[in-house]
Amino acid sequence: MTQQGAVLQGYNNELVKCIEDLCMRKEELNKEIQQAEEERNKLQHEIQVLRGQLDCVCENLAQKIASRNELDKILAETEAAYMKILDSSRTLLNVLKKEVGSLKHIPELKSN
């Protein structure tokens, strides 16, 4: 019976050692889980910050694009008006040249 008790004691010791090993592995795993959760939380916070920054940049970009589009419209209208002025000036110049040309055929008036 002593021999059976010794065998039983050996099994018990091995069982206790296995349980202790499992407890240590669980503790290590809990630490790893906690570190991973902290890293996840940190990254989620960084993502929120970056989303906020992205929203600001997108809003700013949209405003700048709208301003550029308005400037493009103003420039196009201004260029079109300027071309009309140039055309009118050319027409006026041509008319003036014709008038001056016809004045050369009129004799000069003599003053008293």
pLDDT tens for the 112 residues of the chain, in order: 788 888 889 999 999 999 999 999 999 999 999 999 999 999 999 999 999 999 999 999 999 999 999 999 999 999 999 999 999 999 999 999 998 888 777 766 556 5
The pLDDT assigned to 32 comes to 98
**Amino acid sitting at position 66:** A
The pLDDT assigned to 77 comes to 98
What SS3 class is residue 31? helix
Report the predicted TM-score, pTM, of the whole model to 2 decimal places. 0.59
Q: Which two tokens stand for residue 9?
A: 């004691």
The pLDDT assigned to 103 comes to 78
Q: What is the largest CA-CA distance in the chain?
A: 163
